[in-house]
Every structure is written in C-alpha cells, then in structure tokens.
Chains A and B, each alone.
Chain A
Amino acid sequence: MNFELDTEQDMLRATVRDLLSGAYDVESRNRVAESDLGWNRDVWKQLAELGVLGLPFAEEHGGMGAGPVEVMAVMTEIGRALAPEPVLDCVYLPGRLVAEVGTDAQRSDIIPRLSEGTALLAFAHDEPGSRWPHTEVATTAARDGDSWTLSGRKNPVLHGDCADTLIVSAKLPEGGIGLFVVDAGADGLTRTPYRTHDERRGAQVVLENVAATSLGEGADASTAIITAQVHAQAALCAETVGALDSSVQLTTSYLKQRKQFGVPLSMFQALTHRAADMYVLYELASSMSLYATMALADGIVDPTIASRAKLQVGRSARKIGQESVQMHGGIGVTAEHSIGHYLSRLTAIEHTLGTMDDHLRVLAGGVKDYELVEIAGM
C-alpha cells in the first residue's frame, strides 16, 4: 500500500500549483468572476499547453493517457487556488462520456479539440425537479431514420453557458437512456445562462425538436453515465480537499496574525482546539478522497465508494467551511476576503452530484447487505 504521489505525479501537481497561484490572488479572482465568462481564457490556454486538459484522454487523441490519480492531483490544485476554470465541467466529465461511448469518428473529432482547449463541452443531464442519481430522465429522443430529435428541459447544466457542444441525455424510444451530441446553437434550443452563488456559471437548456447526433451507436448509456459520475464525484472530492487545505491554512495563519485583547487569537485555547478539529476533519476527507481515486485507479468503479467519499468529504467541508468563516470574525463574511468564497464553492460542490443526505440515503439503503464494513478493493 502506498498513498504517495510518484515523482511525475508530484511534478504535475507542482506545475499546476505554480500556474494557478501565479494566476490568482483574491483580487484577480474576483475580477475574473465578475467578467461575463467567469473564468480566464489565458489560464485555459496554459492548462492546455501543459497537457492538463488532455490528461485523462488517450495519447492517440492528443491526450496524456493519464489516470484518476493525475486527475486528482490537478483537481486538488484547482480547489486549493479556487480557480474558476471549468476543467471538470467542460472537459473531464463530458470528455469521458465521449471517450467511453462515442464512435471512433466522434472521438477523433472531439477529444483532440478538448485536449488542445479549443472545444468546450457540457453535460446536460440533470432536469428540473429531479435529484441525483437522476435515473429517470424525462427528456425524450425521437428517431427518424438515421436522424434524431430531442425534446425536454435540462437544469442545472454547469457551465452550459460557454459550451459550444452539449452532451445531452434522453430517454430512448425502446427504453434506456441514450447520449446525444447537440450543437449549442442548434435550432429549437434555448439556453438561459446564469451565475451560481459561487460565482461560477450555468445554464438552463430547453430543447424543442432539436436535431441531434447519437453519441456512439445510440444504445443505452446508463452504465457509462454512472461511471462518468463516479469519476466526477472523485474529482469533486479532490477539489474539495484542495479547498479545505487552503481553508485550514488561511485560518491558522489568521489566528496567528489577528490580535485582540492584546494577544494573537492563537493564544485562545478555545480557538486552537477547534483549529485542531478542523485539521482532523481535513485528514479524514483526504483519506476518503484518496480512497475514491485509488479505487478508480485500480479499475474499480463503485458508486458506493463514491458515496462514502462524498459523504465524509461533504461533512468535513461543511464544518471546516463554517468554522473558517467563524474564526475570521466579520472579515470572514466579506467578499473582499477569500475565506467566504471558499465556503460558497464548498457548498456548491456539496450540492453537485448528490448532497450528503443523498449519499447517506444510498449507504443507509445498503447496510443490511453486509456484515462487517470493509474497505472495498483492498
């Protein structure tokens, strides 16, 4: 057993960290968040040049052929820097669907452009009024010979505002859920962009008989969707861990620096003990995030592991996020300081691909199926 990154992975992490910490401080991040796009195309270009965007894709498609551990390393740095670039939403998550389900032609058309940063995808799967795990899809696909049309509503579509192509899930005529490639500017497609509370972007997409191409052969893609979500959940856990590391760091250095009653706050044991609890929660979250990633790296795609990780990571995130703000006092609730933005981002991640309660529900539903709780895949 070995929980350490190897030299190459560590180098990747260090490079991404340098890039992002050079690109973002509180001010530049706020400025970028205010812009229409909400993220920075220069940073995007640099990520593409470093091979970060193509990381999980096959080398024949311009990718790096790397695995979940490398993805984790990148996502952790994105979380640490609170970088707004939609690497997961626009590249890793929809790209995985294309790589898994797409035809050869689709793969060699789309993946190279994703890797070089010239194409942006978004996965339009969630629908209004329904919750993760979204096993029921109301959007329908109708076939007419070789061509397809889609009708339905998708929301939230994370970063669906900037994507040029959407991967849309829809109910197939013969049952099952199919995946389709839809041009974001297609006739009959209306998209309403919006900002999310963490200053990211999203869109609602309404489809009325919109022309679509099936991704792959038009077969049921439910399993591929679950696989993609399990990978995405692991990536979100890694992003959270990065953000938690920053939150703990920011808070401990604030406790050392802020003076009240003539001494630094770090002289008050009431606070240092709580900082210690935050650290404990951070380590627990790291362990579960590693678990989710390492299982994937071993080829185990297990939604239960993803739920276990997302539950613990969520619990840690909520407590650390709240405690960080509290210990910053009034400064903590201002937009000028980054600690509150971390809390907002952490809250958004908690509500993406299943809330803590959703995952607890999955786990509670399974307790009678085993006797001893064990680390799966050990």
Chain B
Amino acid sequence: MNLKLTEEERAFRDELRTFFTTEIPADVRAKTASGTPLGKDDYVAVQRILHSRGLAVPNWPVEWGGQDWTPMQRNIWLSELQLASVPDPLPFNASMIGPVIAQFGSQEMKERFLPATANLDIWWCQGFSEPEAGSDLASLKTRAVRDGDDYIVNGQKTWTTLAQHADWIFCLVRTDPNAKKQAGISMLLFPMDTPGVTRRPIKLIDGGYEVNEVFFEDVRVPAENLVGEENTGWTQAKFLLGNERTGIARVGATKVKLARAKSFAAETRLGSGSLLDDPIFAARLAELENELLALELTQLRVVAGSADGKPNPASSLLKMRGSELQQAATELLVDIAGPDSLPAGEADIDSPDWARLTTPTYLNNRKVTIYGGSNEVQRSIIASSILGL
C-alpha cells in the first residue's frame, strides 16, 4: 500500500500543469473558473491547442491520436485540466462519439471522422433523448426506414446540448419496430444541415441557451453513416454512456470552486472579521472539503484498480456523488454572495461580478444530477449491478 505518486507521475503532473497554465489562453480559463458561458470559438481554440500536444483525446486508441497512458496518468490529466480551469475537450467528441467510432466503426468511418473529431473540425451533438424517452431511453420512437442506399429518418429529439453549434449529430433511431425495445435500435451519423433537420432553442432557468429540440422530417441519411451493424445501437449507446459517466465526477473543478469560495468568503465582511472567520461557515466549508476528499480517494481507488479501462460499475457512484458535490459547491457560493446574488446580468452596480453569477450558475447546475443518467438511475444501477438487488 502506498499513497505517493511515482517520480514519473509527479513529473508528468508538473509538465501538464505548466502546459495548461501557460499555453491555454488565460481569458478562457478565467471564464471557465467563474462559470461564464464559453463561446464556440473558445472551445475550438482550446481543443486544438490540446490536440496539437496529444492532450485532447488521450483515452482514444493511439493510432487515432490517443495516448498509451495508465489510468492514473489519465486521471492526473483530467484533474490538472480542471484544476487549471481548462474547459474539458468537447465531451460529445472526445468522450462520446470518438471512442464509439474507434470501437464500432468501419475502417473507412474511422478515417473519415476520427481526425476531424479530435481536432474539433466537426462539432458533434448527442441525439439520444426524446420527449417520452428520458430515463427510459430505450423507449425512443424516432424512426429510420431503409430506402435503397439511404435511411429516411422521422421523429424528434430533445435536450440536445449545444446543437446550435453542431455540425453533425449522432443519433439513436428505431430501425426495427417489431423487435423488443432495446433490440431494434441503431446509431446514425448525419450533418445538422441535412434537409429536414430543424432546431428549436429551449431557454433554461438561468436565462441561458444551451439545449435544443431537434426535429427530423424525411431526413435522408446514406446507409454508410450507420455505426456498426443495424439494430446494434443499444450496445454502442451503453458503451458511450459508461464513458460519459466516468468523466462526470469533476472533483478538480469542484476543488477550484471551493477554493474560490474561500477567497470570496475572506473578502466578505462580517461583524469585525470576515465570513471565513465565522465558525458556522467554516464548519460547512470544512465538511464539504472532507466529502470531496473522500470522493477523490474513492476515485483514485477505482483508477488505481482498473487496469483494463472498462467502465466500472463504481462509475455510478462517482457520477452521483460528484454531481452532488458540484451542486453543493455552487450552493455554497450562492450563500456567500447572499444578497449580492440577487442582481443578475450586467449592471453597473456595487456588487461583485462573481456574486451576480452565482445564482444563475447554481440554478443551471441543477442539471448535473439529471443528465448523464439521473442520480436516481445511478442508484438503481448500484442496487442492481453491485448489490444484486
């Protein structure tokens, strides 16, 4: 038993830390740290810098731009990325569709898509959920009917994150309506500007715009854009969702939030001292820090123990607890801001900018326990696949 990183791991960490803090534009990192929404250009610029050094898609096979890293190295990479407030490489590309194409796609498909996906020349969005198919994803209804060399797609997707920026969508469609729920599903790839595709923005409670409804009306998709075999989409979706979950704990990002919380509390006057001196506040902060450490150690145990890189059922625990602590940190920031959190948006008034961002961020972050498989669904996975209930 041994808690220390090896010499090499430490050197690896220092090298990444230097790279992230010197090569990634400071303004993008500042925006990420404060919760200011990023523009498309920010994501693209950062991902290209990362990719030029082999740091955008390390979890991919080496021949497609990945790295032959140990799980511990991968974890160090992710953690340093977040500690430096570098936005994660676009998850739809880097942790969702990329690995799926690398695993299930034809050679031709890999060549066509993987380099452009890694470099964010193509921006992907995820077309899984539908109005009636949320937690129960397998009940999706969007239909794809074979017509010569094409599929004709009809139906509706919803919650499609950042579809307004997207060039392509990876979509789950029903190709066999007669098969059992999971058995008749396939995964199709097609450009968002294909005739018959329309998007409608959905406004969220923080006033922001990040998700969309997407409608398909007789959308013609060449059959070569089918990933793997027809009706095997559920296998691919499960593989993808396992990967999605692993990245969602965001311990590093929550650490940054708590550190910011501390500095803001130190600046907040209370009685003769600061909020940070207040035992009630300090106790709450200490408790959160401790819970976060417990999660980090659990994550390290999972990482140190899983050599094969397969999604571990414990990833459900990481997603669940990670998202809860992310929310707890945004909640703490809101409470530090107190009445200064009431004004929203840009206004030339005497309340700190960070304080005015706190409640929109808090409200927006309610999503993290809902998406990526809601926390209730994660509990069911733990109950059934770990506890055998």
Q: In chain A between 175 and 199, which residues have their CB closer than 8 angstroms to a CB of chain B?
A: 192-198
- Among B70-116, those with CB < 8 Å from A are none
A260 within 8 A of B: yes
A322 near B360 (CB under 8 angstroms)? Answer: no
Question: When A and B form their complex, what is the total count of cross-chain residue pairs whose Cβ atoms lie within 8 Å?
Answer: 153
A347 to chain B, nearest CB (A): 6
| A343 with B363: CB separation less than 8 A | yes
Cross-chain contact B203 with A355 (CB below 8 angstroms): no
Q: Could you tell me the distance between the alpha carbons of A357 and B332 in the complex, rounded to whole angstroms?
A: 11
Beyond A129-B269, A153-B350, A194-B343, is A336–B202 a contact (Cβ under 8 Å)?
yes
Q: Are B359 and A347 in contact (CB under 8 A)?
A: yes
Interface check A361, CB cutoff 8 A:
yes
Given A197-B341, A197-B363, A351-B339; A330-B280 close (CB under 8 Å)? no
- In-complex Cβ contact of B376 among A270, A347, A356, A357 (8 A): A270
The answer to whether A131 touches B338 (Cβ under 8 A) is yes
Q: Is the CB of B134 within 8 A of A260?
A: yes
Name the one of B205, B206, B339 contacting A132, with C-beta atoms under 8 angstroms: B339
B61 within 8 A of A: no
CB <8 Å contact, B203 and A335 = yes
Q: Is A325 an interface residue (CB 8 A)?
A: yes
Given contacts A326-B366, A333-B364, A355-B335, contact A194 B205 (CB under 8 A): no
Tell me whether A326 and B204 are in contact in the complex, defined as CB-CB below 8 angstroms, given that A130-B269, A197-B344 are known contacts: no
Mark A103-134 against chain B: 1 for CB-CB distance below 8 A, else 0. Answer: 00000000000000000000000101111100
Contacts of B349 in A (CB 8 A): 128, 155, 192, 194, 204
For B158, what are the chain A residues with a Cβ–Cβ distance below 8 Å? Answer: 330
Let me know if B147 is at the binding interface, CB within 8 A. no
Query: Complex Cα distance A131/B202, Å?
Result: 36
Given A333-B367, A335-B205, A357-B281, A348:B379 Cβ within 8 A: no
Interface residues as binary, A55-77 with B (CB distance below 8 Å gives 1, 0 otherwise)? 00000000000000000000000
Residue-by-residue, is A155-191 near B (CB-CB < 8 Å gives 1, otherwise 0)?
1101000000000000000000000000000000000
Judged by a CB distance under 8 angstroms, whether A341 is at the interface is yes
Contacts of B376 in A (CB 8 A): 268, 270-271
Cα distance A202–B340 when bound, in Å?
11
With the chains together, A329 CA to B369 CA distance in Å? 9
**A300-330 toward B: CB 8 Å interface, digit per residue (1/0)?**
0000000000000000001000100110011
Partner of B207, one of A271, A318, A335: A335
Interface residues as binary, A330-367 with B (CB distance below 8 Å gives 1, 0 otherwise):
10111110001101100110011001111011001000
Name the one of B278, B362, B363, B364 contacting A361, with C-beta atoms under 8 angstroms: B278
Instruction: Name which residue of chain B comes closest to A360, CB basis.
Output: B280
Tell yes or no: A261 within 8 A of B by CB.
Answer: yes
* A330-B129, A334-B205 known; A128-B360 Cβ under 8 A: no
The answer, yes or no, to whether A259 is at the interface (CB within 8 Å) is yes
Q: Which residues on the A side are within 8 Å of B343 (C-beta)?
A: 155-156, 194-197, 202, 204
- In the complex, chain B residues whose CB is within 8 Å of the CB of A326: 366, 369-370, 374-375
In the complex, which residues 124-180 of chain B have their Cβ closer than 8 Å to any Cβ of chain A? 129, 132, 134-136, 139, 158-159
- By size class, the interface of chain B is 35 or more
For the complex, what is the distance from the CA of A334 to the CA of B260, rounded to whole Å?
28
Give B348's nearest chain A residue, CB to CB. A192
Residues of chain B from 180 to 217 with CB closer than 8 A to chain A in the complex: 202-207, 211
- Per DSSP, are chain B's interface residues mostly helix, strand or loop, or mixed? mixed
Interface flag for B39 (CB, 8 Å): no
- Tell me the complex Cα distance, A330–B158, Å: 10
Measured in the bound complex, the distance between the Cα atoms of B331 and A193 in whole Å is 26
Task: Say yes or no for B249: interface residue by CB 8 A criterion.
Answer: no
Instruction: Indicate the member of B204, B340, B366 with the most A CB atoms within 10 Å.
Output: B366
Cα separation A193 to B340 with both chains bound (whole Å): 14
Bound complex: CA of A202 vs CA of B135, how far in Å? 39
Instruction: Return chain A residues, CB-CB under 8 Å to B350.
Output: 128-129, 153, 155, 204
Shortest Cβ distance from A225 into chain B, in angstroms? 16
Inter-chain contacts of A261 with B (CB < 8 A): 135-136, 139
Most B CB contacts (10 A, CB to CB) among A132, A262, A326, A352 go to A326
User: Looking at B204, B339, B367, which has the most chain A CB atoms within 10 Å of its CB?
Assistant: B339
CB of A330, distance to nearest CB on chain B (Å): 5
Residues of B within 8 A of A195 (CB): 343-345
A198–B136 CA distance with the chains assembled, in angstroms:
32
Question: For the complex, what is the distance from the CA of A202 to the CA of B350, rounded to whole Å?
Answer: 13
Contacts of A196 on B, CB cut-off 8 Å?
342-344
- Tell me the smallest distance from the CB of B197 to a CB of chain A, in Å: 21
With A270-B379, A326-B369 in contact, is A357–B136 under 8 Å at CB?
no
Asked, given contacts A192-B349, A335-B204, whether A348 binds B342 with beta carbons under 8 Å apart, the answer is yes
Bound: A158/B280 CA distance, A: 28
Closest 5 CB pairs of A and B: A340-B205, A128-B350, A194-B347, A204-B349, A335-B203
30 A-B pairs with C-beta separation under 8 A? A131-B268, A131-B339, A155-B349, A156-B340, A194-B349, A197-B359, A202-B342, A204-B347, A260-B136, A261-B135, A261-B136, A322-B327, A329-B135, A330-B134, A330-B211, A330-B367, A330-B370, A333-B363, A334-B202, A334-B203, A334-B205, A335-B205, A336-B202, A336-B203, A348-B359, A351-B338, A352-B339, A352-B342, A356-B335, A357-B335
Q: A132-B338, A197-B359, A333-B204 given. 14 additional CB < 8 A pairs?
A: A128-B349, A131-B270, A193-B347, A194-B343, A204-B350, A204-B351, A262-B136, A330-B134, A334-B203, A334-B204, A340-B205, A347-B363, A355-B335, A360-B280
